[in-house]
Every structure is written in C-alpha cells, then in structure tokens.
C-alpha cells in the first residue's frame, strides 16, 4: 500500500543537532543527502544561545543526525558561502522516495512545513513521528530564491525553535514534493506574526556544483521525472493540431491509462535506464545532459506506450524494452529544427544490432513537417549499406541499418494515428470498447 503524503514527509524528516533536516536521494547509489539550514551546525559559544557574528561550524564528525531513534553518521558536510544552507553527505539510505519540486514558488502557494521543535524533544516518545510538528501556510512574499510562508497558527520563537532546516513541502495529485528549507522566523526578534522564511530547494545546486566528494563532483538531487516513468504520464500525447478536442482527450486518457497500468513496482526507473540509453539514444553525445530533461522522458514514455500497443504487451519490463529496441530503436534530439536535418548524423550513433524490417523512431521538441521519410534512406546518406561500422553485423538474426530501414517521427506517428483519424474515432465516442480498440488499431498501422 502506498505511503500517504503526510507520512512520507515525516519519514524523510530528521533531527540535525538542535535543528531539523530532510533526507533526499541524489542521482547515485553511493550515498544520500540530508538538506538543512547552515546555522543549525553552528558552534554556539554565547551564553544566550545566540548566533555569533563570525560563526564557526561543526566538522562532519561532530554533527548528530537522528532518524527513527537511530543515529546517521555524517561523512562530509558542505556549506553554502552566503546562504543559510548546508548539505550533509551520509551513507546510502535505501528506500528514499522524496523528490524535489521543479515548479516555481509563487504567492498564494499552499505549503506544509515540517520539523522537530526542541519542546517536543524533552519527552520520551517511542514513536519518532511524535517529535515532529507540522505547520500549514501560504506563501506571502517571494524575493529571488527566498520566500515567506504565513501560518494561521502563529508559532512563537519558543515553539518554532528546533524546526530550522526542516522541509517545506507541496502536495500535488496525491504526492508530496520538497520545495524548500525553513530557515527562521521572518523579521526581527520580538516580532510576532507567524511568518517563516524559506529558501527554495533549487539553491542547493549551488553547493553541489561547487564541491566534490572523493575527487568527483557531487551528484545532483534526483528530479521527479527520473524517479519513476509514471511522473511523465501527464505530459504525454499532447496531440498538437487536433480539430476535435473531445476525440483527442478521450484517446489521451486511454493512452495515459495504458501507461499507468503498465508501470509496476519492479518496472525500471528512468534513473536506472539512463546509463544504457545514453550510449545510443542521443544524436549528439556531447549534449548528454539532454537525457536528464523531462522532455526526453516524456517522449521515451510515449514510445514505450505505443510499443506496448504494437506488441500486445501490458507491462513495462527490462525485457520488453530490449525487445522493443531491437525492432523500433528510439532516438532523441532537443532540436527545434526540422528532424530530417538530423538524419545524416545517424552514422555517428552507436546503434545496437537491429532485426530485419526494423525502424528508427525519432523524437524532437519540434513538431514534424512530415511524419515519415518518403524517400529511401540512401538518398540522404549515400552508401549507407557500406559505410556503417561492421559492429552492426554482430549477432545472429541481426543486421545493420540499411536504405530499407524505416524512419518514423514519434509525434508524427500519433498525428497519423489519431489526428488524421479523428472523424472515424468521433463516430465511436459513445462506445468505449470500440473506441479504444480503434485507437489501438490506428497505432498498430502506423508503428
């Protein structure tokens, strides 16, 4: 049973010394992160427990993190030079599922703030979540990457102390995302208005891009669309150019349902697939960051869903992806230009072995002028049968691409399957069974 959003926020909230923090998984299996406010790591020497003008911060060995009554060892700590942010690197913690929000923070956004106030730590609770407090609030002001959240609960300094470094979360469509870190009460000491200061989670990139661990750049935080293929479902099948929106909407809903039902707990994640896809799915390997773009995974998921239909398969597995790729190989470019201009560079891509009568399925950001190549491939790439490396001949039953290889544009496939059949599908709107079967048949004809 999936964890509810409130419990998910609690499960990723930790004590960091006398403050709070948030567990998050970066794009590596070598370690995990705790995100927090820098000032909670400060060595306090003043008798009044007030921050120093020239603060000194604890070394990694002296920082205490507690999660579910267990200690987490800090391996390294990284501080932002100007902002109240810190990244604590810890041993890899399996099962972290919290991801960051990629949406901008704007006035009126509703958020939940969660942390571990000092007042609650004096009790002897056996359930760790009882140490955690949540506050609901609304964004009142945004200044650059900083923002104020106003809470109707109007917490006092005493009540809020210890929550610094805790997460600020947004709930969307039954899931929660980390939007920022709470750093302090707004204003000056003595004000009593219940507003809290936060810094957007995107600011942590400034720490990650300027530091290293064991000689390597720190891993970026896992964005939502790399965590699970399902995160890209709402963006698929835009059907640009539709004349009958009711038809395209119903077709889209059906295709989204196929996508949702096909992704199981053991289905491969984008993060686990990206290394393999990086080898042979990009037109320009020097632009490898494209594989981190949400648009790439939106297109790749469309390709998988259409592949499910064409092969009468229902579940996305690694075996299905391998089999689909041997017949219909996926290629992507973020170019805004005509996709046909990409074709001469096909010979530079390390394509895998492909079976006879195979096709290359090309996806781009721009809409295609035509959906399928109408002339033999050797008109664009002369001597294609001779010029491709011999490595394509390895493997029984496989062959290199040739002038007979079909080239399809992914969006063009949907255009020919749905938009050019809108009148036919419109006549079937009243029958769900006939409509969905007709959608499937239209895709099989084009793919």
Domain boundary among 173, 201, 217: 217
Does residue 233 share a domain with residue 202? no
Domain boundary among 217, 233, 268: 217
Does residue 108 share a domain with residue 90? yes
**Number of compact structural domains in the chain:** 2
Does residue 54 share a domain with residue 23? yes
Does residue 228 share a domain with residue 212? no
Domain boundary among 217, 244, 263: 217
Does residue 140 share a domain with residue 242? no
Does residue 293 share a domain with residue 435? yes
Q: Which tokens in the block code for residue 406?
A: 């079909």
Please tell me the predicted confidence (pLDDT) of residue 271: 82
Please tell me the predicted confidence (pLDDT) of residue 393: 36
Does residue 101 share a domain with residue 201? yes
Please tell me the predicted confidence (pLDDT) of residue 291: 83
Please tell me the predicted confidence (pLDDT) of residue 72: 96
* Closest alpha carbon to 178 in 144, 132, 223: 223
Q: What CATH number does residue 12 fall under?
A: 2.40.10.120
Does residue 230 share a domain with residue 305? yes
For 256, the domain range is: 224-446
Does residue 271 share a domain with residue 151? no
Does residue 278 share a domain with residue 152? no
Does residue 274 share a domain with residue 206? no
Please tell me the predicted confidence (pLDDT) of residue 190: 60
Does residue 199 share a domain with residue 233? no
Tens-level pLDDT at each residue, the chain (447 residues) = 346 888 999 999 999 998 999 999 998 889 999 999 999 999 877 655 565 677 899 999 999 999 988 999 999 999 999 999 999 999 999 989 888 876 778 899 899 999 988 877 776 767 787 888 889 989 999 998 999 998 877 777 777 888 999 999 988 777 788 999 999 888 666 665 678 899 999 899 899 989 989 888 899 887 778 878 988 999 999 998 899 999 999 999 999 999 999 998 788 888 889 888 887 888 876 567 788 888 999 999 999 999 999 999 999 999 999 999 988 999 998 888 888 888 777 767 767 766 777 888 999 987 776 666 677 677 776 666 554 443 333 333 334 566 777 888 999 999 999 999 999 999 998 888 899 999 999 999 999
Determine the Cα–Cα distance for residues 324 and 311; give it in Å rounded to an integer: 8
Judge whether 156 and 118 are in contact, CB under 8 Å. Answer: no
Q: Which tokens in the block code for residue 136?
A: 């609901």
């Amino acid at each position: 049973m999936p964890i509810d959003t409130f419990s998910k926020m609690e499960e990723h909230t930790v004590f960091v010394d006398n403050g709070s923090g948030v567990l998050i998984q970066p794009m590596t299996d070598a370690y995990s992160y705790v995100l927090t406010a820098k000032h909670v790591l400060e060595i306090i020497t003043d008798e009044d427990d007030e921050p120093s003008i020239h603060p000194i911060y604890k070394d990694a060995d002296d920082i205490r993190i507690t999660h579910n009554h267990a200690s987490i060892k800090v391996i390294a700590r990284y501080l932002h030079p100007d902002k109240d942010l810190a990244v604590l690197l810890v041993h890899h913690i399996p099962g972290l599922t919290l991801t960051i929000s990629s949406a901008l923070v704007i006035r009126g956004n509703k958020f939940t703030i969660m942390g571990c106030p000092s007042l609650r730590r004096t009790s002897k609770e056996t359930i760790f979540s009882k140490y955690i407090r949540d506050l609901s609030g609304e964004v009142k002001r945004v200044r650059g990457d900083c923002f104020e959240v106003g809470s109707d609960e109007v917490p006092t300094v005493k009540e809020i102390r210890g929550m610094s470094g805790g997460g600020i979360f947004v709930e969307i469509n039954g899931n929660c995302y980390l939007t920022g870190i709470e750093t302090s009460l707004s204003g000056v000491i003595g004000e009593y208005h219940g507003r809290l200061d936060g810094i957007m989670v995107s600011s942590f990139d400034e720490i990650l891009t300027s530091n290293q661990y064991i000689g390597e750049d720190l891993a970026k935080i896992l964005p939502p669309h790399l965590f699970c293929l399902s995160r890209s479902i709402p963006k698929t099948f835009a059907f640009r150019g539709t004349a009958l929106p009711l038809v395209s909407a119903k077709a889209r809903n059906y295709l989204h349902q196929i996508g949702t039902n096909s992704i199981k707990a053991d289905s491969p994640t984008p993060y686990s697939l990206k290394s393999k896809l990086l080898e042979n799915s990009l037109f320009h390997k020097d632009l490898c960051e494209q594989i981190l773009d949400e648009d790439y995974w939106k297109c790749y998921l469309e390709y998988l869903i259409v592949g499910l239909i064409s092969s009468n398969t229902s579940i996305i597995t690694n075996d299905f992806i391998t089999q689909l790729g041997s017949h219909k190989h996926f290629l992507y470019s973020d170019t805004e230009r005509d996709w046909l201009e990409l074709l001469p560079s096909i010979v530079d891509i390390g394509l895998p072995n492909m079976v006879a009568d195979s096709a290359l399925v090309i996806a781009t950001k721009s809409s295609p002028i035509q959906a399928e190549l109408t002339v033999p491939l050797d008109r664009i790439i002369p001597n294609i049968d001779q010029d491709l490396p011999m490595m394509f001949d390895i493997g029984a039953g496989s062959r290199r691409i040739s002038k007979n290889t079909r080239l399809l544009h992914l969006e063009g496939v949907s255009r020919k399957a749905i938009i050019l059949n809108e009148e036919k599908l419109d006549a079937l709107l009243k029958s769900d069974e006939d409509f969905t079967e007709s959608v499937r048949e239209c895709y099989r004809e084009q793919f």
